[in-house]
Structure formats: C-alpha cells, structure tokens
C-alpha cells in the first residue's frame, strides 16, 4: 500500500527554460524503503524536494500533476499540491521529514537541536520534551554517545554523529514519511554503514524515500528502486528485479556502470 502516490507529476524551475521532471508516476510504499537512482542532474533531488513542497520556499517554481499523500486517519489520499496556507505547509512538513546531503546541525545544543521541531510545534512540557528527545536519540542510535553532553553544542559532534542527530531531529516529530537526499555522500564508510543500518531500522515506524548515487547502497537497503534519467522515470520495481533483471536497456547500462 503506498503512503505517497506520484501521479503524472511534472516540475519546472522558475529559472529553467524547460521541465526538470516530466510525467513521473511512482508509488512510495508504506513502511518500505524506496530509492531513487540515476546519473547526476537527472532530477532525483528535484523530485524528492517536491514531496515536502520544499520548492515553495523559492518563488515561481511550477508543479503539475498530483502528489497524493495517505491520510492515516481516514485512509484517504490527499493531494499535497492543493496546500496553500502556512499552517498546512507546517503540518505537511511535520508529516514528511527531510534529511539533507550535508549534516545541518543548528548552532545550538544537542538537546535543543532535537527538541527544536517539538518546541515550534507547541510542546512546552519539560518532561514530555525530554522523553521525546531521548526516544528520538535512542531511535537514531545516538543516545549512548551523547547522553552525557546533551547541553553541549551540536557543532562539536563528528560528521556521522551530526547526520544521526539530524535524523533524530526529524524522527522526534514522528513523521510518516522521511526523505533522505544522499545522506551519506559526505561521510566515511563506517559512518555510512551506521546510517544505513539506522535507516533500515527506521522503516518499522516510517516510510522512507532515499536519493542515492551509490548503487550498492540502493541494493543493500531498499525494497523498491526507481531509476531516473534526464527528468524521466525510466523504470521502477522491486530492488532485486531492477538490479538483477532490468527491463530497460538504459537501466541495465546504468547499473552495470556503462554511464553515469
């Protein structure tokens, strides 16, 4: 069952002469990991950033088609492109979290980083904040490393720890869908392995869409894989099928390393 269904979706940047994505149809399955692969510049980030309406932070970008998100309360799909009011954007972004390529700790303490989303969502109760911050840090396999320095600046953590902190920060809000944009491309192999393990762990509670240019990573962690090329979705299927048995010539060329 999909938590998000991308239907006939196209996207045009304000400053671009043509569409950067055209006619994408793709489901994001619930409690699964879906990876988006493809050569650099094919539109993976553009698609991912559409799913929490990040492009709306900048003027005059244009969406076409539908992005249907499952409303878990009544089991109905609702088009997030209908969203116009600020409080609806806030709700959407609380439900659909995002982790970026480079770790982006805020210049504040570790505790305050994780509590940030909770605080601005209106949670003031100290014990509730503390519990949820600790849960999120435990869920992100970071609690043991930082429990004795929660009030120290987050800038002092290592790159891998910072990225797990960013995951904890997103997880604290109990999102339904988490979007990862090449979350390990700035990290060393050990930190990368820790993050991959964490993402697999997370899918019990949350659905995941992950952009990666690392095909081993896609094949290791994802249940479904979508291959994109020049703004088109070339092929989508179960990860095993895409990697072992691609239907499209383009997909095969890409995964066998003939280009990209």
Partner 1 sequence: MEKLFKTVSFMSATLVMVLLASIFFSLFHTAKPAIEEYGFGFIKEKAWDEEVPIENDIAATPVKKEEPKAAVSSDDDDLASMLAGNTSDVPTKTVYGGLIPIVGTLLSTLIAMIFALPIAMGIAVFLAEIAPKQISNIVGIAIELLAAIPSIIFGMWGLFYFAPIVQSFVGGYQVSLLTAGLVLGVMILPFMAAITRDSMRTTPDVLKESAYALGATKFEVIKDIIFPYSKAGIIGSVILALGRALGETMAVAFLIGSVFSLPTSLTSPTVSIPVAMANSFGEATGMKTSALFYLAFLLFIISFAVISIAKFYFLRKDNK
Ligand X SMILES: Nc1ncnc2c1ncn2[C@@H]1O[C@H](COP(=O)(O)OP(=O)(O)O)[C@@H](O)[C@H]1O
Q: Which residues bind ligand X (CB under 6 A)?
A: 13, 15-16, 20, 38, 40-46
Q: Considering CB distances under 5 to 8 angstroms, the limit depending on partner class, which of Mg ion, ligand X, partner 1, none binds residue 169?
A: partner 1
61 and 55 in contact (C-beta within 8 Å)?
Answer: yes
Report in angstroms how near the CB of residue 21 gets to partner 1 at its nearest: 19
- Residue 170 binding partner 1, by CB under 8 A: yes
Q: Within its chain, how far is the Cα of 91 from the centroid?
A: 16
Residue 231: CB partners within 8 Å, gap ≥ 6? 19, 20, 21, 22, 42, 43
Partner whose binding site includes residue 173, from ligand X, partner 1, Mg ion, none (CB under 5 to 8 Å by kind)? partner 1
User: Counting contacts by CB under 8 A, is residue 169 touching partner 1?
Assistant: yes
User: Which one of 5, 20, 35, 45 is in contact with Mg ion (CB under 5 A)?
Assistant: 45
Listed ranges 37-45, 67-75, 116-124, 128-136: which one lies at the site for Mg ion (CB under 5 A): 37-45
Q: How many CA atoms lie less than 13 Å away from 72 in the CB half-sphere?
A: 13
Residue 11 CB, nearest approach to Mg ion (Å): 14
Which does residue 41 touch among ligand X, Mg ion, partner 1, none (CB within 5 to 8 A, set by kind)?
ligand X
Instruction: Tell me how far, at minimum, the Cβ of 21 lies from ligand X, in Å.
Output: 8
Q: Computed over its alpha carbons, how large is the radius of gyration of the chain?
A: 18
- Nearest approach, Cβ of residue 232 and ligand X (Å): 12
- Confirm or reject binding of residue 212 to Mg ion (CB under 5 A): no
The token pair that represents 97 in the structure block: 């979290």
Helices (H), the chain: 44-50, 86-95, 110-120, 126-139, 143-146, 159-171, 189-202, 215-221, 239-244, 249-255
Q: Residues binding partner 1: what is the number (CB under 8 A)?
A: 26
Geometric angle at alpha carbon 178, from 31 and 107, rounded to 5°: 150
Give the Å distances, CA to CA, from 155 to 105, 186, 224. 7, 16, 35
Out of 107, 144, 189, 257, name the contact with partner 1 by CB under 8 A: 107
Q: Residues binding Mg ion: what is the number (CB under 5 A)?
A: 1
C-alpha to C-alpha distance for 173 and 176, rounded to whole angstroms: 9
Structure tokens at 216: 């081993």
Query: How far apart, in whole angstroms, are the C-alpha atoms of residue 174 and residue 139?
Result: 11
Q: State yes or no: residue 191 binds Mg ion (CB under 5 A).
A: no
* Binding residue for partner 1, selected from 71, 90, 156, 245, defined by CB under 8 A: 90
Q: 6 in helix, strand or coil?
A: strand
Closest separation between CB of residue 197 and ligand X, Å? 24
Tell me which residues touch partner 1 (CB under 8 A): 52, 54, 57, 59, 86, 90-91, 93-94, 97-98, 100-102, 104, 106-108, 116-117, 120-121, 166, 169-170, 173
């Amino acid at each position: 069952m999909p938590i998000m269904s991308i239907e006939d979706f196209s996207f045009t940047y304000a400053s671009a002469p043509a569409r950067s994505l055209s006619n994408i149809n793709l489901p994001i399955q619930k409690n699964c990991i879906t990876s988006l692969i493809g050569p650099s510049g094919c539109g993976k980030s553009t698609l991912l950033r559409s799913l929490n309406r990040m492009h709306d932070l900048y003027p005059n970008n244009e969406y076409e088609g539908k992005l249907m998100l499952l409303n878990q309360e009544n089991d109905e799909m609702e088009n997030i492109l209908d969203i116009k009011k600020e409080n609806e954007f806030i709700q959407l972004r609380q439900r659909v979290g995002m982790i970026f390529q480079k770790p982006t700790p805020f210049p504040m303490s570790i505790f305050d980083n994780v509590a940030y989303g909770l605080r601005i969502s209106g949670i003031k109760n100290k014990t509730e904040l503390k519990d949820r911050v600790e849960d999120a840090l435990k869920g992100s396999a970071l609690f043991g490393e930082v429990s004795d320095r929660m009030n120290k600046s987050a800038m002092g953590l290592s790159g891998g720890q910072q990225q797990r902190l960013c995951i904890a920060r997103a997880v604290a809000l109990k999102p339904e869908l988490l979007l990862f944009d090449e979350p390990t491309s700035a990290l060393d192999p050990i930190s990368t392995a820790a993050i991959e393990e964490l993402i697999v762990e997370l899918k019990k509670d949350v659905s995941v869409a992950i952009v990666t240019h690392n095909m081993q990573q896609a094949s290791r962690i994802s249940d479904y894989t979508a291959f994109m090329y020049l703004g088109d979705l070339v092929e989508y299927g179960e990860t095993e099928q895409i990697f072992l048995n691609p239907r499209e010539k383009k997909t095969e060329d890409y995964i066998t390393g003939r280009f990209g």
